[in-house]
Every structure is written in structure tokens, then in C-alpha cells.
């Protein structure tokens, strides 16, 4: 009897857990005759879910991290020049220079960006990144592990993390085929393609065109349109609670219609607390006029700040905060890991809310699947937290150019818009959801619940072609 086909899922950080550990992805592969092993570089214990895992030990070389930062910046400069569009400069994050060490690192990155510019320079920089990792203990460890495991494919769950470079480079050096999944709908314009693999799994025709546009050295035969497994739980009936059970579990009023306020991180939306206050004041006013509304506040899972405390205290009658059930295992954002329990909480929050309010979030798609409308915040508050920030900066990002009409959401262009647009959203939800679903179909191939099956079908095909 021949040995089963073996897929090694490289999990460089926690963001891939939701797509590939908390869905039916592994079970789908096993039914097709694949042995599935997680190559896990996170603190999360996948054995607790019944999965086979091998822990990756070791760290990225400091020089590699500097090269990676230079590559991202040089690539954004290249995109700016190639597409004659300054929007790519807005993807650069401010750099803190609060120590001599930080100043030295920044000067090195700046010199690298100047030296390795344009398509030829970027190719050289990519080669230097791989060569840098080949000199490290992480690469050596990965190389030795792969010699023992000998998988048929390695599938990286995310194209962004620098710690994925060593294991994928080791795989290529051993002629083991590699693939990666483009994690999010907004990633490609941001120059987040840190890894180099043989195959790329994308959400849609739209994302495939983006990938080939930004990275012309990648051929169309290397790209595979599968959709994203992140939307599969929306169709899992076992995750859904009755309204009575959900409301009872979280101390909510079953008679109320709830609006979900979905928070962003501090960088994306520093004025979120003021927006939440504006919504709460509107809800209070509408309730005084005879309506029966409430707010479910779901903060960004990696935001542990106290910036919402005052508005939550002042509007305890209007707002019920449901804390995301993520696991904090470190001090940085990428050491905050999702859990399966939070997936259930999010699904039921969507199911039992009537609409969502946020700034520029992909939650528009999550709510559209459930036939619920989205209201996008699009005005500057009276007391700004950060003078150089504006929602217009966010909506100018490239991924919002994918909107087919611009009418997919209710645009909240001032605080005064809240009242009547909320009423429209609650009374006629299909006015926007049907258009939002068209946007979703453009972003993610349908049916959305079949992404895992499509990914495994591609792996079967690639396996046969080896």
C-alpha cells in the first residue's frame, strides 16, 4: 500500500488558525487521503484540537528583518513609480526613533532602500533575504526537520511573516514544492509579499489579477483561485445559537434590535471611541422617541487599550461590550491568538445583530452573508485624537477601488446621518445587502462555503502533475 499524500501546513503566526485550524479544512483533506501535519511556529497547542503538529524552534536573524523592512519600503516605492499613484506611500508606517539603536536600524533600512530600487534591485534584495536566513540556526533546524518529514507539499497560511522565509527556503533547497495563501483582501497593494513560493492561492479572479499585476514574475499557472476558508463558519449550523440562548448567555435584552459596533485597532481608527459615543448618543435619542435599540460593542481583538472605558461607562444603558475570546500569550499584537470559542461568538453576534457600524472593515462581507447591512463611518469627529488622520485616508486605499458601485454600504458622512440611515438600514436591509453581496462575489469566489474543498482539489491536481 502506498503512503498517504502528506501536506505540511506552515503556521508562522496565529492569523492562520481561523482559516485552517478552526474550520473543516483538515478534515476535508483527510477524507481525500492526505496526511496533514501543522508545522507550528506559534505558542498555540494544536494537539489540543486533535491535530498532528511539529513545533518550529528558533528565531529570524536580525539582519533578515532589516532586509525585509527595506524590501517592503522599496516595493512600495516601486509600486508608486510603476502605477504613478501616491497611494502606496500611505501604506508606510511611521518609524519610532526613540533610541540610538532604532536610529541605527532606520539608517540601515534607508540605505538599503536607496541601493536596491526598481525591479532588478528588488530581486537582489529577495535573494539577500533568503541567503541571510540560510546562515541562521532556524534555517538549519528547518532543513533537518524536512529531511525527516519529507512532505509532498508545504502550504504556508500567510504570505506576510518574516519567520516563514527560513522554512520555505529550506523546502526549496530540498526541492519540496511550496505554496502560500494570500491571507487578506487588502494585502497585495501593501507590499506584504514577504515569502517566495511555487504556488499562490487567491480568493478570486480579482485578486489573481492583482497578484499578477504587482508581481509580473509570477505566472498565471502558479496562481489558483480558491476563495478564503474564513467565511466557511458562517454556513456551519452547529455554531449558531438560538436568539434566546445567545441573549441569555451574554445578558442581552431579547426584545431589542442590536447594532454591532465593530472596533478597529488604534492605528486604523484612532477616533473609534468618539464614533462609538456618537452612535450611543443617537441610540439613546431614538429610544427616547419610542424605539428599542441597543449596541453590541466588539473591539478589535488585539486592542487592549483603555480608550473606550469612558464611553462604555457613560453609556452603559445603550452599550453591551462582548470581549473577543482571543488568547494573549505575549506583549505584541501577533502574540494574541484567536480561539474557536471566539469564532462562535463572532458568528452569533452577526446572526443576532441587525446591522454593523464600523470604519472600512471587511465585516461588511460577514454581515452581507447573513443579509445584514453595513454602515461605514466617513466623517471627522469634533475632537480628533490625531490631527493628521482622516477616514478619507483609509477609504482611499487600493482595496476599496474594488467596490462595484459605491452603494454597497450606508455612508455616515456626519453624526447627523446616524439617525435616519440607521432607520433605513433596519427597515430596508436588502437595499444595501444585495449590492454588498455583489461586491463580496467579486472579492471571493462563490460558493463561499466551498473554499477548503477547492484548495484540496488544487493540491490533488498539483500532486498528480509532479
Tell me if 257 sits within 8 A of 426, measured CB to CB: yes
pLDDT surpasses 80 at 336: no
Over residues 350-368, the mean pLDDT reads 97
Minimum mean pLDDT among 2-6, 64-68, 365-369, 454-458: which range? 2-6
CATH of span 5-60+136-228+448-465: 3.40.50.2000
Q: pTM for this structure?
A: 0.95
Question: For residue range 266-275, what is the model confidence (pLDDT) as tens digits?
Answer: 989 999 999 9
DSSP 422-451: HHHHHH-THHHHHHHHHHHHHHS-SSGGGH
Closest by CA position to 343, among listed 324, 357, 327 = 324
Average pLDDT value for the chain: 95
Q: What is the DSSP letter of 414?
A: S
* Amino acid 1: pLDDT: 47
Instruction: Give me the residue spans of the domains in the chain.
Output: 5-60+136-228+448-465, 62-131, 233-443
Residues 70, 122: Cα–Cα separation, whole Å: 9
CA distances in angstroms from 450 to 168, 223, 235, 239, listed in the order given: 27, 18, 10, 17
Task: Please tell me the distance from the alpha carbon of residue 142 to that of residue 378, in angstroms, as a whole number.
Answer: 47
Quick check: do 5-60+136-228+448-465 and 233-443 share a fold?
yes
233-443 is classed in which CATH architecture?
3-Layer(aba) Sandwich (3.40)
What digits encode the pLDDT tens for the residues 221-246? 999 999 999 999 999 999 999 999 99
Amino acid at each position: 500500500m502506498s503512503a498517504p499524500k502528506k501536506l505540511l501546513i506552515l503556521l508562522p503566526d496565529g492569523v492562520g488558525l481561523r482559516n485552517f485550524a478552526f474550520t473543516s479544512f483538515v478534515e476535508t483533506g483527510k477524507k481525500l487521503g492526505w496526511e496533514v501535519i501543522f508545522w507550528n511556529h506559534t505558542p498555540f497547542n494544536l494537539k489540543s484540537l486533535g491535530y498532528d503538529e511539529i513545533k518550529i524552534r528558533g528565531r529570524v536573524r536580525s539582519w533578515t528583518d532589516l532586509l525585509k523592512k527595506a524590501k517592503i519600503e522599496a516595493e512600495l516605492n516601486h509600486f508608486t513609480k510603476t502605477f504613478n499613484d501616491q497611494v502606496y506611500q500611505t501604506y508606510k508606517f511611521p518609524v519610532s526613533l526613540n533610541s540610538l539603536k532604532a536610529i541605527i536600524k532606520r539608517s540601515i533600512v534607508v540605505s538599503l532602500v536607496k541601493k536596491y530600487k526598481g525591479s532588478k534591485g528588488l530581486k537582489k534584495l529577495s535573494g539577500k533575504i533568503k541567503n541571510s536566513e540560510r546562515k541562521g540556526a532556524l534555517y538549519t533546524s528547518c532543513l533537518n526537520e524536512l529531511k525527516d518529514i519529507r512532505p509532498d507539499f508545504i502550504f504556508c497560511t500567510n504570505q506576510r511573516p518574516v519567520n516563514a522565509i527560513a522554512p520555505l527556503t529550506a523546502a526549496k533547497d530540498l526541492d519540496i514544492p511550496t505554496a502560500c495563501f494570500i491571507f487578506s483582501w487588502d494585502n497585495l497593494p501593501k507590499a506584504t509579499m514577504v515569502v517566495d513560493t511555487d504556488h499562490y492561492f487567491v480568493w478570486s479572479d480579482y485578486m489573481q489579477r492583482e497578484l499578477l499585476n504587482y508581481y509580473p514574475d509570477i505566472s498565471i499557472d502558479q496562481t489558483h483561485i480558491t476563495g478564503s476558508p474564513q467565511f466557511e463558519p458562517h454556513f456551519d449550523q452547529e455554531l449558531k445559537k438560538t436568539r434566546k440562548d445567545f441573549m441569555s448567555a451574554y445578558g442581552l435584552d431579547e426584545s431589542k434590535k442590536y447594532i454591532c459596533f465593530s472596533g478597529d485597532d488604534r492605528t486604523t481608527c484612532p477616533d473609534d471611541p468618539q464614533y462609538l459615543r456618537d452612535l450611543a448618543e443617537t441610540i439613546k435619542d431614538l429610544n427616547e422617541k419610542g424605539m428599542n435599540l441597543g449596541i453590541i460593542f466588539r473591539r478589535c481583538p488585539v486592542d487592549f487599550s483603555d480608550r473606550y472605558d469612558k464611553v462604555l461607562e457613560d453609556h452603559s444603558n445603550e452599550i453591551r461590550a462582548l470581549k473577543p475570546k482571543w488568547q494573549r500569550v505575549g506583549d505584541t499584537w501577533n502574540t494574541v491568538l484567536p480561539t474557536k470559542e471566539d469564532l462562535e461568538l463572532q458568528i452569533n453576534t452577526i446572526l443576532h445583530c441587525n446591522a454593523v457600524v464600523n470604519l472600512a472593515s471587511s465585516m461588511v462581507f460577514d454581515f452581507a452573508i447573513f443579509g445584514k447591512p453595513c454602515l461605514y463611518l466617513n466623517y471627522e469627529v469634533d475632537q480628533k485624537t490625531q490631527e493628521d488622520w482622516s477616514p478619507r485616508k483609509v477609504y482611499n486605499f487600493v482595496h476599496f477601488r474594488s467596490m462595484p458601485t459605491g452603494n454597497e454600504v450606508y455612508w455616515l458622512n456626519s453624526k447627523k446621518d446616524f439617525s435616519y440611515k440607521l432607520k433605513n438600514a433596519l427597515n430596508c436591509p436588502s437595499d444595501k445587502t444585495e449590492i454588498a453581496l455583489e461586491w463580496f462575489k467579486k472579492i471571493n469566489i462563490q460558493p463561499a462555503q466551498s473554499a477548503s474543498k477547492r484548495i484540496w482539489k488544487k493540491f490533488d491536481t498539483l500532486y498528480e502533475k509532479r
